[in-house]
Every structure is written in structure tokens, then in C-alpha cells.
Homo-oligomer: A and B are copies of this chain.
């Protein structure tokens, strides 16, 4: 898939086909995450691959919504080794998801419910000082969901998306609000 098209067309996917994500694709997704840049190349992250459906369901109970973790066929928790580099956590999550999209896999970021942070950390054995930045659900998009396409025109794709117009988002030299 063309890189610009992948970035512009990547949508969140919340319903998944039952067929699993192949191991070699999971590994390529993890390698894309690994390649991500971070402040002073600190790589302040670790990745936990969740293949066991029972564990995903257990974790789902501690998320803001259990829906995606109940339905996906794999997930990757991004653990941040500190509590300050959430900007870098967003960078690695986006790289991981765009790479997945390019490989035909849909994804969605999911956050831990603020009332269940400790239970989620205990379930994944996340040590003190580290935190679960996000849990990315993964899977082949079910019928009716957004799906990766290699032939689409980026111009047409971006006209259809539900976003503020660029004129409202961007300004020259100073904030204009």
C-alpha cells in the first residue's frame, strides 16, 4: 500500500473477522513499533502481545469499554516505562497501527478505565512506575468496517472523513482559533 494513502486512510476498526492475525504479520507489526523514534532514543516502551482470548476478556473488564478486546483476535498493550512520555507512546501506537493497516489488519487504541488502573497493571504484571499507555486491538476488519485498500485515491478518502476542515485546524505563523 502507498505510504501516504495508508496514513490518510487509516480508520479505527471495532469489529473483526474470526480468522486470526498470522504470527509473521504480528511480528512485522511489532518490528514497526520497535523502529519508532522517541525522545533521545529512550524507547520508553515495552509491548505485551495478548493472544489468549480469556486474558483479553479479563483485561477488557478494566478498560473504558470492553467491546474491542472482546471482539479482536489479538491485541498489543503498549507499556510506558514512565508516566511522562505519553507523546512518545502516541508516536509508537500510530506507527504500529499504520503498519498493521498496510498489512491488511484493522486496529483501535483502547484505554484503561481510570478506576481500574491497578487491576489492569496487576493482570499484565506491569511493575511500579510503569503504566499501560494503551491497548491496541487487532484483527481483520469485519464486513461493514473500514478496511485497508490499495487502490483508493487519497484525495477522495480525505474528503469523506469526519474531521474539521483544514482551514479551521491550520493557521500561518500564529494560533488562530
Identify which of B7, B47, B79, B87 contacts A95 (C-beta below 8 A).
B7
**Contact (A4, B99) CB under 8 Å given A125-B175, A175-B48:** yes
Which of the listed residues A5, A90, A133, A177 has the most CB atoms from chain B within 10 Å of its own CB?
A90
Instruction: Give the total of A residues in contact with B, Cβ under 8 Å.
Output: 76
| Copies of chain A in the complex | 2
Report B-chain residues with C-beta under 8 Å of the C-beta of A45.
169
Chain A 110-138: CB-based contact to B (< 8 A → 1; otherwise 0): 01000000000001111100100110000
**Contact (A51, B163) CB under 8 Å given A32-B7, A90-B94:** no
What is the bound-complex CA distance between A5 and B35, given in angstroms?
11
User: Knowing that A39-B111, A48-B173 are A-B contacts, what are 6 other residue pairs whose CB atoms are under 8 Å apart, sorted by A's residue number?
Assistant: A1-B2, A2-B3, A9-B35, A47-B169, A124-B174, A126-B175
